[in-house]
């Protein structure tokens, strides 16, 4: 992409409600903009990152035998009345009426609709297990939409639902999804932990959350550095205590209820986390309520054993930045960067500079490298600041030094600037991208 043709409206000042690095930099870098409270537009850079994350999620889920579907975002209220969640979901569930006064819901999650989809279509134990997922818009009328993409009202979620003939098989799938989620978050380059979690309003037993470790996280976790033990404090403390802990006064409470040592003998630590995934063992809660049955080996009708699996796809964009930024802007990981390479022409009027930039640009594109060519007439300092803010992993600087046969490669993460002979730049960048 040529910067002169790109729609990347970077801005100097973040809006005053943006307190977190991800919120500030994603808006300043022209990735997203605010449509209303908790509502965001994805501009070209934000859309590219979103699609990259979506693709990784899909690739790993498909490899694990899951089937992608896409359900209607709007669901009739009757579905929620039958499961009892019309009452329990409260004000987070946004209800709308059509011209005939029929009531609908902007789906905050899709257990009911997915059970309806499978009901009477999957009828025998022979058709099981089955795992269906979608990567689709959700709406939750959050009491406090804030922190940008971390807590939107409209957001993109991967929600998966599995159906089984026995609890044993459901637990096998739960373990498979835990392993799959670990692969996804590892590929995204995130430092994360899996912790024991509360099941909340979704219900059922057996639940684990995946948290990206970051001081800005809203959840408090107890984790062991020596083994893989981890728990959300919601599983240990009551609501008031959790509120106190989340307000960061946790040092005082620290001694009270939690043993200082893990069962493995090492010390336990409090860490802040951003919840990016949640997997639940549901059992037969929804299949019983919605009378979704299959016939077992003896021809007896039984409700499906179910599990459900969520990933905050749009939240992940912000989580990547919470973990990877500095005072100047975003630092994208290899799998999430909207463009891996930025070719910055210091002076576009200099024919030699432009010619080399064009040549490199074409060669890298031919290799399918995601490359931006900054061919704008802006000053060098402005372009560099913009590149820092957007967070291209590598910027090739073609400037005055070209007279001496040299160009620079700037590494966004290490901030190192290395001079390279112009004839070696192509091989060098290809090597760095491996």
Give residues in contact with ligand ATP (CB under 6 A): 109, 140, 142, 151-152, 155, 157, 200, 275-278, 310, 312, 314-315
* Nearer CB in complex with ligand ATP: 75/342: 75
112, 159 contact by CB (below 8 A):
no
As measured in angstroms, the least distance from the Cβ of 293 to ligand ATP is 26
Residue 101 CB neighbours (<10 A):
6
Picked from ligand ATP, Mg ion, none, the partner binding residue 152 (CB below 5 to 8 A depending on kind) is ligand ATP
| Residue closest to 21 by CA, chosen among 189, 153, 147, 152 | 147
* Nearer CB in complex with ligand ATP: 163/185: 185
As measured in angstroms, the least distance from the Cβ of 18 to ligand ATP is 16
Spatial distance between the Cα atoms of 239 and 92, rounded to a whole number of angstroms: 19
As measured in angstroms, the least distance from the Cβ of 139 to ligand ATP is 9
Helix (H) or strand (E) holding 135: strand 130-139
* Nearer CB in complex with Mg ion: 319/384: 319
* Nearer CB in complex with Mg ion: 50/274: 274
As measured in angstroms, the least distance from the Cβ of 128 to ligand ATP is 24
Q: What is the CA radius of gyration of the chain?
A: 25
Picked from Mg ion, ligand ATP, none, the partner binding residue 277 (CB below 5 to 8 A depending on kind) is ligand ATP
Burial of 261 (0-12, 13-18, 19+ CB in 10 A): exposed
List contacts with Mg ion (CB under 5 A).
Answer: 278
Picked from ligand ATP, Mg ion, none, the partner binding residue 140 (CB below 5 to 8 A depending on kind) is ligand ATP
Picked from Mg ion, ligand ATP, none, the partner binding residue 401 (CB below 5 to 8 A depending on kind) is none
Picked from Mg ion, ligand ATP, none, the partner binding residue 393 (CB below 5 to 8 A depending on kind) is none
Picked from ligand ATP, Mg ion, none, the partner binding residue 394 (CB below 5 to 8 A depending on kind) is none
* Nearer CB in complex with ligand ATP: 219/388: 219
| Residue closest to 220 by CA, chosen among 188, 190, 253, 187 | 253
- The C-alpha angle 195, 108, 180, rounded to 5 degrees, equals 40
133, 67 contact by CB (below 8 A):
yes
* Nearer CB in complex with Mg ion: 198/241: 198
Picked from Mg ion, ligand ATP, none, the partner binding residue 285 (CB below 5 to 8 A depending on kind) is none
As measured in angstroms, the least distance from the Cβ of 248 to Mg ion is 21
Nearest-CB residue for ligand ATP: 312
As measured in angstroms, the least distance from the Cβ of 187 to ligand ATP is 17
Residue 94 CB neighbours (<10 A):
16
Task: Calculate the alpha carbon distances from 170 to 46, 69, 280 in Å.
Answer: 36, 20, 10
Burial of 152 (0-12, 13-18, 19+ CB in 10 A): buried
* Nearer CB in complex with ligand ATP: 45/212: 212
Spatial distance between the Cα atoms of 152 and 172, rounded to a whole number of angstroms: 33
As measured in angstroms, the least distance from the Cβ of 278 to Mg ion is 4
* Nearer CB in complex with ligand ATP: 147/294: 147
Angle formed by the axes of helices 425-433 and 351-366, to 10°?
40
Q: Give the chain's length.
A: 434
| Residue closest to 170 by CA, chosen among 279, 53, 265, 319 | 279
As measured in angstroms, the least distance from the Cβ of 343 to Mg ion is 42
285, 276 contact by CB (below 8 A):
no
**Cβ neighbours of residue 179 under 8 Å, at least 6 residues apart?**
none
As measured in angstroms, the least distance from the Cβ of 155 to ligand ATP is 4
* Nearer CB in complex with ligand ATP: 129/310: 310
Query: Helix (H, G, I), strand (E, B), or coil: what is residue 95?
Result: strand
């Amino acid at each position: 992409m040529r910067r002169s043709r790109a729609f990347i409206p970077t801005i100097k000042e973040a809006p005053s409600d943006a307190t977190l690095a991800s919120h500030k930099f994603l808006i300043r870098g022209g990735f997203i903009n605010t449509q209303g409270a908790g509502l965001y537009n994805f501009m070209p850079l934000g859309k590219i990152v979103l699609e990259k994350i979506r693709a990784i999620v899909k690739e790993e889920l498909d490899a694990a035998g899951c089937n992608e579907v896409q359900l209607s975002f709007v669901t009739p209220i009757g579905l929620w009345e039958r499961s009892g969640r019309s009452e329990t979901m409260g004000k987070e569930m946004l209800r709308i009426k059509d011209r005939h006064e029929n009531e609908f819901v902007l789906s905050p999650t899709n257990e009911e609709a997915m059970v309806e989809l499978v009901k009477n279509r999957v009828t025998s134990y022979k058709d099981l297990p089955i795992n269906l997922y979608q990567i689709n818009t959700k709406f939750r009328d959050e009491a406090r939409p804030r922190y940008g993409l971390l807590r939107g009202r409209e957001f993109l979620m991967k929600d998966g639902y599995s159906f089984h003939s026995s609890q044993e098989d459901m637990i096998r799938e739960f373990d498979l999804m835990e392993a799959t989620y670990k692969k996804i978050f590892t590929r995204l380059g995130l430092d994360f932990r899996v912790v024991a979690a509360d099941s909340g309003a979704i219900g059922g037993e057996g639940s684990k959350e995946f948290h990206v470790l970051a001081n800005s996280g809203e959840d408090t976790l107890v984790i062991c550095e020596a083994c893989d033990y981890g728990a959300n404090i919601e599983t240990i403390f009551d609501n008031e205590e959790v509120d106190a802990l989340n307000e960061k006064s946790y040092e005082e409470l620290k001694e009270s209820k939690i043993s200082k040592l893990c069962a493995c003998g090492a010390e336990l630590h409090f860490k802040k986390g951003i919840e990016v995934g949640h997997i639940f063992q549901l059992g037969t809660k929804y299949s019983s309520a919605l009378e979704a049955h299959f016939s077992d080996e003896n021809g007896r009708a039984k409700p499906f054993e179910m599990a459900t699996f969520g990933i905050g796809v749009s939240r992940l964009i912000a989580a990547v930045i919470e973990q990877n930024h500095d005072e100047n802007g975003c630092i994208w990981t290899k799998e999430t960067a909207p463009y891996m390479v930025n070719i910055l022409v210091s002076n576009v009027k200099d024919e030699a500079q432009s010619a080399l930039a064009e040549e490199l640009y074409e060669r890298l594109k031919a290799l399918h490298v995601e490359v931006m060519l900054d061919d704008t007439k802006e000053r060098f300092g402005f372009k560099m600041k913009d590149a820092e803010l957007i967070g291209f992993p590598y910027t090739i600087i073609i400037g005055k030094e070209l007279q001496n046969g040299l160009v620079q490669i700037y590494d966004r993460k290490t901030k190192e600037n290395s001079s390279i002979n112009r004839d070696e730049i192509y091989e060098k960048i290809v090597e760095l991208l491996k």
